[in-house]
A and B are shown apart, each in its own frame.
Chain A
């Protein structure tokens, strides 16, 4: 009964080759987040969707894009992965406007070779 599911768990991509990470949720939450987490660092918010509205963090590189075709699914596209993009990518969801926590997926570990 996983609620936030990320696929794949592990992804290896070549330097410069576009890659897409996926996230799905069964919670019907209207807010979905993508975080980047590097070793021994805090999860860093890349962007989030509030319903269909996309909200980019000011310091998120243009190399990172996102799509949310419907409430349940959200994708993270890395257009030209560099070695510095190797990290754990976490998807999370929540309900807006309420004191609800964020629910996280298990993450996708991205390796760039």
Chain B
């Protein structure tokens, strides 16, 4: 059973870069059958898809965040990562990583990591 776990600093200063890692256990990130996504949720608000990566390194990003987001994958560590630059208080949120099946049609997210809270503050 595949499990995902987010990790990274819980506090980031404004204008700096937020960096998070998602570690995949119970399966190989290189299986080739999945996309790996980042999703965030500000406190008391809804979910926002940030972007996804395939093991080849191919990425897709939310158009509203595209200029600030970079998602990368490290197959040797069974991890994928998120970098969000020039953060502001509006980027304060719980960040989740999740898996999506690779198919011709966009699919759902399952499973999800437990989430990690990132606060942007000086």
Partners in one complex: no
Interface residues of chain B, those whose CB is within 8 Å of chain A, are none
